[in-house]
Structures are given as C-alpha cells and as structure tokens.
Structure 1
Amino acid sequence: MDVYAPQTWLPHERPLLPGSPSTPLHSDRRRLAYLIVGFIVAMTGGLGNALVTVNLPYAQGSLGVYAAEIQWLPAAYVMANVSMNLLLVKFRQQYGLQLFTELFLGLYAVATLAHLFVHGLASAIAVRAAHGMSGAALTVLGLYYVLQAFPAQHRLKAVVLGVGFPQLALPMARLFSSELLEIGEWRGLYFFELGMALLAMGCVLLLKLPPGDRVKAFEKLDFLTFGLFAPGVALLCAVLALGRTVWWFESPWLGYCLAGSIVLIAAALLVEHNRSAPLLNTRWLSTGMMLRLAASVLLIRIVQSEAAGTVGFLQALGLNNDQMQTLWLITLVGSVGGIAVSALTITPARIQPSLMIALAMMAVGAFMDSRATNLTRPEQMYVSQFLLAFGGTFFLGPTFVSGFGAVIAAPRNLISFSLMFTMSQNIGGLLGSAIVGTVQVMREKFHSSQLVENLTLLDPQVAARVQSGGAALAGSLADAGTRNALGVAQLGAAATREANILAYNDVFLLIAAVAVATILWMLLHHLWNICTACRPAPLAQNAQTAMANVSLNNSGSK
C-alpha cells in the first residue's frame, strides 16, 4: 500500500495541511483529554529551557565555568530550535506525526538522562541543543493537540491557546525552580526536566493524534540549504548571546562569527531564491505583509525583554528569587489572563487593535518601571509587571493568526512562515536581552562617572557620610585609617548601586519608547490601508475559515 496515496476524508475531517492531523468528531471527555495533553506537551517544550535560563548563575557555579561560558546554554537552545524548524515541517509531512512525536520526545529524554551521569559544560550544551530540537517539535505538537480539543467553530481560539501555553513556562519556572535546586541542586532541575519528558511521552502514546495525509516532501537541495542555514543561524545566535558578556568590540571572534553568519545565510537564501520548488520562498517572505509581520514580532519581543531588566534591577538591589515569589505569581496570572482574553475576543477584525492594545499595556508598564528608586521593591512593580505579562501573551495569538491566512492560501509557504515566526520570536528574544544588557552597562558607566565626579572629601556631606560608615565599624576595628577606607568603599558601593538603578530606569524608558514607536507605526499603516481602501483582514479571515474546515451545518455536531 502506498502510504503517500491521498486518503478519503469526510468534509469535517480533512486535515488543514499535509503533515497535520485530521479533525474527526470527538466526545467531550476526549476533547478535555486532548486539551490536557496539549498543555503538558507545550509546557514540556518550554519549561526545561526556562528552568535553566532563570538559574544560569546557579548552573555556572555547579559547572564551575565562567560567565561567558554559561551563556552557551541558552544560545545552544535557540540555535537548534530555529534550525530544526527548517526541516520539521517536511519531516512530519513525509514520515507522519507518530514517528515525529516519538523520535523527538525520545531524543530529549535520552539527552537529559545522559546529562545526569555526565556532568560538564559540553554535556549541558548537548542537552540544551537536544531540547531546542525537541522543543521545536513539541510546540507544534502541543498546538495540534489543543486544536483537537475544540469544535470547528472555535478553532481560532484553540490556535491562540496552543501558541500561548509555551509562554507560561518562564513565569512558572521562576515560581518553583528554587525548590528544585534545594532538593538536588542542578540535578533537581534535570530530574524534573526528565520527568516532564517522560510524562509527555506517556501522554502522547496513550492518546494519539488522528492520522493525516503524508506526502513525499524532501528534496536533495533541502539538505544543502539546511547545511548552509543552520551554521549561519548558530553563528548569529552566538554573537547575540555572548556579545554583551565578552563585549562587542573587545572580542574579534564575534566579528568573524557575524561575517560568517551573513555569508552562510545569504548563500542559503540565494540557493532557495533560484529553486523551482524552494524550501524557503524568498519572494513570499520579502512581501510587504510578511516583512511587517516579522518586524512586528521582533519589536514586540524586544519590548518583552523588559522582564529580564526587571530581574536584573531587583538583583542589583540585593533581592533574591525567594523575595520575588509574589511578583512572579502575579506575572503568571497576567500571562494566563492575556492568553484567556485573547482567545475569548479574537476575531479577524480585532487582530490589529489587539496588537496595539498589547503594545500600549507594555508601554505603560515599562514607563511605570522607569521611575524606580533604591526604595523600590517587588510590591511597587506588581501593576507594571502584570501589564507587561498580560500584553506579552495577549499579542502572540493575533500575530500568529494574522500571518497564517497566507499559508492557508498557499500551503507550500508553511515552512517559510514557520521559520519566519520562529526566528522572529527566538532571535528577537536574544536581541532584546542583548540590547537590554548592553544599554544597561553603557548607561551605568555614564551615570557612575557623573556621580563619582561630584564625590570629594572636601564636601562636608561626603566626609560625614564616610565617617558615619566607618563609625559603624568602630566596635570591631580600632584603626581609624582602616575604618575610613571602609567608609570610602561603602560610599563607592552606594554610588555604583545608584548608577545601576539610573541605568535600569533608562532601559525601561527606552523599551517604553520602542513600544510607543511600534504602536505609531502600526497605526500609520492601518490608517494608510483605510485611506487607500485596502482591507487587511482577508488573510486572517481565510485562516478562520480554513481552520474551521467545516460547513455551518456540521459545526454544531459533536
């Protein structure tokens, strides 16, 4: 029997695209089971990397490596995640969902288990790379499971939930990662990650997705493109992840990596541009709509990097993760609220306003944080972080849907869209962190020079501050000179702390400005469409119609 022969489907069962599952009717209990499994799979795809990301300082200590070396862990994840999206679509189209599921979950579980016995930086990087590959597969797999949980008329809401669930991984990781470290130090993180992988594998083996169409998808030139594109992306990720740590202009290898990245990615795009059946449709990706979509996702991801700045700000004040638990809980509530409200309100006509509302909320939150002082504590950041978390998840579903309509109209562009969306998300996250860290360092140096310039012992207030600092040590230090030196050191530390606070305020203000500029850009484009009598909604409407994939007469069936 030819596995690639087209199958016969009932109207409501027809798969949306080759490689995706069919959509038969399910009982309510089975729909609930699909929803639960979809959530578990989606969280497995993101939670392991989130646990490592929020605990990099602890991982650095346990592995005994330098700060620059530990940055290879998040870089390895993004390298593998972005690159694998280039092949995963065709893999599941040609070999089917079952092999797709079992292979990548098994790879993830084996790599995590191996790291428990081989403890070193190389094995940790290998686990992150394996998680990046499996994470790319699990994100799509989770979306497919969630789609099975909803009837046809609500499939657009299912898409919002499916792409939103992985966004909950980071706030969840901040909530309980400290307890995992207390249980088994770094091994506690990896035991939990292994448990999640095995749980997800058990769930997908017990509750399988319905079969779909399989087609012969791979061509020889696909692997040439992958061989050029994957190392190009890896070099770019290395530059963005480590540039701030080793500093951009002090490490020549960063320039070589960036040059190599440009050459390799350009060569891959050149190969694809001249193919009759390209893996990446460069002409479609360079259309105005897709460029605007990529720029929107990239800018919003940069705005979302404000959360990383918040962590750095609170740590600069001397707070640890245990003192921020309520803040992370509020952040998680905001993220859940953003996904829920987006799913309940999404329609093709509301996509553009939804994006603007999300950006406006994030702009307000970042502006509120830009007025922080050395007396600011997590309690003063509850509202701002809730707004940022809500807006960060509220935008994702509408953004995905706004571009997916073009894929429905031309299924051959699925790989191009998947890669563009994934690159914008992941590269945007690395770029945002790099911008936040770089601007913070530069502004800290500026503010520090301004503050120290005015500190002189000839100033009575400065002299009194030094003396009071030294006087506090009078009971343990008899030497007046030593007490005076320690008083000067305390004053210097206070100046550095204030410079860091001012620098983070500048970062938050910059992020608010980026959000406002993005809103204005979207608004001007929307007004231009109105003035030229263009309608931006049909592509999203196509997505709504195609994902429903059923007539109105059948949409109410159970």
Structure 2
Amino acid sequence: MTETPQTPAEAPAAQVPPAPPPFEFLGWPLTLGFIGASILISLTQGLAQGFVSVNISQIAGEVGATTTEASWLMAAFLIPRASLPLLLIKIRTQYGLRRFAEVAIITYLLVSIAALMISDLRSAVMVQFFAGMASAPLSTLAFLYMLEPLPPQWKMRLGLPMVLTFAMLGTPLARVISPALMSDTGWVSLHLLSLGMAAVALALVYLLPLKPTPHVKVIAPLDIVSFLLIAVGFGGLTVAFVMGATYWWTEAPWLGWTLVVSILSLMIAVVIELHRKAPLLDIRWIMSPAIVHLTVTLLIFRLILSEQSAGAPRMFQVLGVTQDQLVPLFSVIVVSSILGGLACIPFIKAENVPRFHVVALVLIAAGAWMDSHSTIDTRPHQMMLSQAMIAAAGSLFLAPAMLRGLMSALARGPNYILSFVIVFLSTQSLGGAIGSGVFSTLINHREAFHLEVLREQIPATSPMVTSAIAARVAAVSSQIADPMQARAQAVTMIGTDITNQAYVLAYNDLYLLTFLIACLALFALLLHMWRDWIVQRLEAWRSRPPPEAAPETPASAEPETPASAEPETATAKPAAS
C-alpha cells in the first residue's frame, strides 16, 4: 500500500499465453477425464435402451406378460426420446449447463433406483417411460463433455466421430454383456449395472463441471404448445411403427387412429411455427432443398442400417440360436464400429463427406448381398464379415453427415443449430423405430408368402415328405414309445423346419431389398458428385481471365539486354509468349 502505483508507461506489458497444442487444451489428465466421462455417459444411455430391446422375451417372463405385451416397454422408452431433445436445448440455454447436467444425471439415477422396485407390467411400462425421459438429456451431456476439453480444430475432427461412435454401441454392446448378467439374477442385474453406471456418471459430473454459459430466457409460452403437439405427433408415430408389426396393421383399428392423431398434431404444430416471429423450429429452413436432401439421406441410411438390429439377430432367434452364441458376432460388430469411427478422424472434412458416404454405401451393399444367401444352416460365425462391414459403414456415415449439417446450420447462424439438431435426432429416433417396424412388417408378409408356396410345393403325400417323416419317427422312437405320438412329433418337427425355411427366405428377401436400396442410393450419390464436378469445372472455366495479346515486334529488332543482366544458361526454358 505504501508503494506508488506504476504509470501506464512504466507498467510491464501483458504477456499473451501461447496457444495450447492439441490434446493439451486443459492438460492431459483433465482432457482424458472429460473424454472418459463422455464415453461413460454415452454407454449409460445406450445400454438403457439396448437392455430392453435385446431381452424382451426374458423380461416378459419376469413381469408375467406375453412377448406382445412386453413390446410396450420398448415403445414407452422411445416415446419421450423422439421429442424431448426439442425442448432440452432451450432448457439448457435458459437455466445453464451446470444445473442442466446435475438435474439430468440425478433424475436418471432416481429412475434407475425405481427400476429395482418393478413388480408387474404396468409398473415396468411406467418406469421405462421415465427412463426414456431421463436418458434423453444424457445424449446432449455426452456431446458436451466430449467437445469441452478439445481445442476448436479438434472438436469436429476428433470429438464428433468419437461421441457418435460410442452413442451407437448401446444395442450391440448390450447383446455382448446381457447373457452373462441375465444368467445370474435376471433383469435385476441389468438394473444394478445401469444404477452403478449412473452413480459413477453423477460423480464425474460433479468432479468435472462444464464451463458456465450465460443464462438467456428463451422459452416462450407458445414453445410449450408447439412442443406438446410435436411430442404427441412423434410419440404416436413411434407407437404405431413399434407395435404395428406385432398387432398387425389391418387387425388393430387403434393403429390407424394413432397415425391420424399424430399427423394432425404435427400439421397443427407446423402451422403455428410458420406464423411465429421467433419459432421453436424454423420450418422454412428445414424444408429448404439442402436440408430436405440431408434429412432424406439420414432417413435412408437409418432405414437400411436397421438390417443389423432387426435382421440378423431375429433370424438367428428363429433358427434357435441362443443369446450366448451371438456374443462373438456382436463383439465383432462393436469392434468394427469403433474402428469405423477411428477411420473418420484423419480424413473428416466437409469436402470428403460424399466420399465417406460412397464407402459406407459400398460396405452396406456388399454386406447385405452376402447376407441374402443365408440358409437354415447359417450360423453367427458365417455372418461376422458381412455384419462387421455394415457396422463400420454406420460409423463412416454418421459423423460426416452430422458435420455437413452442423456447418450448414452455422453458416445461417447459431439459432439454426437447434433446428438441425432436431432434424438429426428425429431422423435417428424415428428412423430407427420406423425402420424396425417396416422391416418386421415385411418379414411377416414375406414369411406368410413363402410358407404358402412351400406347402404347395411339398404336399404331405409326396415321397420326400413320407421318407422325412419316417426318418424323424426313427429318431424319436427311443424317447417316445407310442408310434402315433412319435409320428405326430415327427410331423411337428417337419412343420417347424418348413416354417424356419420360410422365415429364412423372407429375411433373404429383405437383405436383397437392402442391397438394392443401397445400390440405388449409391448410384444417385455418384450422379450428384458427377454433376457437382461438372459445375465446378464450368465455373472455373468461366472465371478464367482471357489471355492477353503479346505486343508485336519487328523481326529485325533484337531485344535490348541490360548490362547487368546475366547470360541465359543452356538449360533455361524460353519465356512464354
């Protein structure tokens, strides 16, 4: 206090700290901590959905319900996941990242504790609905924790592929670890694992707080109205496509009314948003040609990628393959997905997005073509290569597609990021539900067709069927003494074989359809790239300056050489005229 203050001239110059090198933006330990928290949060929300979809039949037995009734567990989980991200982004902006992260992870922890008290189907459906609500913010938290510690030049190049890759691992990883957990204490083990992961994630959220952001009041009363209408629309579509193949479209009238209510709700929401000065969603930008093209691309890829979640696992289930026997196959799928995400990191740029999509479509087409030659003797190890190719294709597609969408949104302004995020999440959530529903519907339709054809081609009086029945009777005669019962058992076994053959033929049809859609999308993409290349060449040719005419010089005149000029060497090239 006794020293005289320095004048501005005497004050030392402020030293600007040097720019941090990559991966040391917050120091190695802190950076790895944030990345680890992001991976844990991604797997926590992914496994919450995967455990339900993978173990529907086992869960149905534990809650005293049929498999058809237990399908409502999946629908209840997906209903809030389809629409809740629409409002979560504004909630985060108005109330801050810190409060958003804490409330989100605490809510998920409480829901995981409540899951331990499930006693019947009604309580299970209620808990799954709240689990879907609680897991929706975790996707956003995973993005934030992955991008927080990285410098700007690495956020899209490293952070985006990694977080999207681990977000996709929920269902295949659940198939890897579920058999070991379910064999001990059943569904309780799955809940305990989810509870433990949620508790660790809660500790990491408190130990590694995100940077605070300014609070801005952005939620308007009409936002709530639009959100409720969109939630009803998305929720109805989810229920219809998840349950449509189970209850069958023409047999349950409530499916049609659900679709009608969903479409009307979305139409009313669109009308409201179009007449608002500050809409929740910019419908005009979403309906622009570039965003419509991106939305269709995302939806097509999500539909054809449903072949991996709704195709091979269900076919093997029909063929009597147990969950334990599928563990090696899905371990390969998990590793392939991670390798595909890592392959994006060195080459991910806006100009390389079409090339990534070409490679992804080629892998999907090749994998689907290989799967379309399945038989009733096909086993998981024979499909490892094809399924690994499809898994890698999913990782190669998703990160570049989101990069292009984010750049398009940022070019228009930060307010458009919300609209793009909704487009992206909606195509993934709804696309997954629609893809699974369409896939299951077509499987049931084609199975009925092939079963009718096989029964017509193999009458019960044919010598081939008679010899097959005799062989089966001889096989079961040591266990069944009564000849009539032995013959009935043999006939039942042959009928099961015919049904399984019809199912395999139906899956082959869907694999072939996936191959054709991938080839068609690849052809359209190559045409689009060729058109862009022609446009670029024409623009470059038009923008080229006209050549300047050289001044004429008499033939006898010789150019003057300055005295200081050096003589040209023999290897010097002549000057361009």
Q: TM-score, normalised by structure 1?
A: 0.89
Give 1:333-352 correspondences, 5 Å limit. Answer: 333-352=335-354
Partner of 1:155: 155
Partner of 1:285: 286
Partner of 2:225: 224
Deviates more, 1:413-422 or 1:364-373: 413-422
| Maintained 8 Å contact 1:139/1:163 | no
CA distance in 2, matches of 1:187, 1:33: 30
Deviates more, 1:125-134 or 1:393-402: 125-134
Partner of 2:274: 273
1:503 paired residue among 488, 492, 506: 506
State the shift of 1:149 in Å: 3.3
Deviations along 1:479-528, one digit per CA (max 9) or x if unpaired, are: 43333333222221111111111111111111111211222222222333
Partner of 1:492: 495
Partner of 1:126: 126
| Maintained 8 Å contact 2:241/2:438 | no
**What's the secondary structure of 2:213's corresponding residue?**
coil
Matched, 1:441 2:444: yes
CA distance in 1, matches of 2:490, 2:44: 50
Does 1 or 2 have the higher relative contact order (CA < 8 Å, sep 6+)? 1
CA distance in 2, matches of 1:475, 1:215: 78
Deviations along 1:410-453, one digit per CA (max 9) or x if unpaired, are: 21122211111111001111111112111111111111111111
CA distance in 2, matches of 1:438, 1:183: 34
Q: Tell which structure's C-alpha radius of gyration is larger.
A: 2
Matched, 1:97 2:100: no
Letter in 2 for 1:329: S
**What's the secondary structure of 1:213's corresponding residue?**
coil
Partner of 1:109: 109
2:527 paired residue among 517, 524, 527: 524
State the shift of 1:394 in Å: 1.5
| Maintained 8 Å contact 1:108/1:127 | no
Partner of 2:461: 458
Partner of 1:18: none
Partner of 1:549: none
Return 5+ residue gaps in structure 1 as ranges: 1-9, 14-22, 536-558
CA distance in 1, matches of 2:37, 2:43: 10
| Maintained 8 Å contact 1:107/1:130 | no
CA separation of 1:156 and 1:534: change in aligned 2, threshold 3 A:
farther
Letter in 1 for 2:232: P
Partner of 2:80: 80
Letter in 2 for 1:343: I
**What's the secondary structure of 2:279's corresponding residue?**
coil
Partner of 1:256: 257
Return 5+ residue gaps in structure 2 as ranges: 1-15, 539-577
Q: TM-score, normalised by structure 2?
A: 0.86
CA separation of 1:11 and 1:419: change in aligned 2, threshold 3 A:
farther
CA separation of 1:453 and 1:95: change in aligned 2, threshold 3 A:
same
Matched, 1:374 2:376: yes
Deviations along 1:352-392, one digit per CA (max 9) or x if unpaired, are: 11012112101111110100112211111110011011111
**What's the secondary structure of 1:248's corresponding residue?**
coil
What value does the CA root-mean-square deviation take over the aligned residues?
Answer: 2.0
State the shift of 1:458 in Å: 3.4
Letter in 1 for 2:198: A
Give 1:28-107 correspondences, 5 Å limit. Answer: 28-107=28-107
Partner of 1:318: 320
Give 1:184-203 correspondences, 5 Å limit. Answer: 184-203=185-204
1:395 paired residue among 397, 405, 426: 397
| Maintained 8 Å contact 1:47/1:169 | yes
CA separation of 1:408 and 1:11: change in aligned 2, threshold 3 A:
farther
| Maintained 8 Å contact 1:285/1:291 | yes
Letter in 2 for 1:135: S
CA distance in 1, matches of 2:115, 2:435: 30
CA distance in 1, matches of 2:480, 2:180: 39
Letter in 2 for 1:89: I
CA separation of 1:463 and 1:153: change in aligned 2, threshold 3 A:
same
State the shift of 1:200 in Å: 0.7
| Maintained 8 Å contact 1:243/1:434 | yes
